[in-house]
């Protein structure tokens, strides 16, 4: 759950950075709505961590700052590219959640319910971003996003 918490924090920061740079008010509102949803996910994960006697990542300030900067950079590419970034982020998060659900003990129904609810909302965010005109990102950008996420999730697991 620590990794999921860090991921939700990063997604919230990405969307805040993108919203700051968004050119259209419609795009800004969509990004801020997604960020609010990520705040809910963040709270769910934090509550579950407390229930499990665990803690959040000690590197959360770094995850937030770095993700905010990445989001702002994505925003500089224009609203369509920024929305494409949202769609790809959520696609990758969906994959992560699928993997986590596959490894989660069947008996941990509380964590499973949280992850399934998050997954459904992440899919909806991605679909909304695509429907709003998000463009597909180039393969090297998607690969870089995957590598960045691996570093973050691998590190957040331990620290």
% of the chain with per-residue pLDDT over 70: 100
User: What local confidence, expressed as pLDDT, does residue 115 receive?
Assistant: 96
Write down the mean pLDDT value for the chain.
94
Q: What mean pLDDT comes out for the span 91-106?
A: 94
Contact between 129 and 86 (Cβ < 8 Å): yes
User: What local confidence, expressed as pLDDT, does residue 99 receive?
Assistant: 93
Length of the chain: 159
Whose CA is closest to 53, among 105, 128, 109, 2?
2
Structural domains of the chain ordered from first start: 2-158 (1.20.1260.10)
The Cα 121–Cα 42 span in angstroms is 13
Q: What mean pLDDT comes out for the span 47-73?
A: 96
Using left for φ > 0, alpha for ψ between -120 and 50, and beta otherwise, residue 133 falls in left
User: What local confidence, expressed as pLDDT, does residue 158 receive?
Assistant: 92
Q: Full-prediction pTM beyond 0.85?
A: yes
User: What local confidence, expressed as pLDDT, does residue 52 receive?
Assistant: 96
């Amino acid at each position: 759950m620590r990794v999921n918490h860090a991921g939700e924090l990063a997604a919230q920061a990405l969307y805040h950075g993108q919203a700051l740079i968004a050119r259209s008010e419609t795009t800004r509102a969509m990004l801020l709505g997604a960020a609010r949803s990520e705040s809910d996910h963040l709270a769910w994960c934090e509550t579950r961590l407390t229930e499990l006697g665990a803690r959040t990542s000690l590197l959360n300030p770094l995850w937030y700052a770095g993700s905010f900067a990445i989001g702002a950079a994505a925003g500089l590419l224009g609203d369509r590219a920024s929305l494409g970034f949202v769609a790809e982020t959520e696609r990758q998060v969906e994959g992560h959640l699928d993997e986590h659900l596959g490894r989660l003990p069947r008996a941990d129904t509380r964590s499973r319910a949280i992850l399934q609810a998050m997954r459904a909302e992440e899919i909806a965010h991605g679909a909304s971003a695509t429907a709003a005109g998000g463009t597909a990102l180039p393969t090297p950008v998607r690969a870089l996003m995957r590598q960045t996420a691996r570093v973050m999730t691998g590190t957040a697991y331990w620290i």
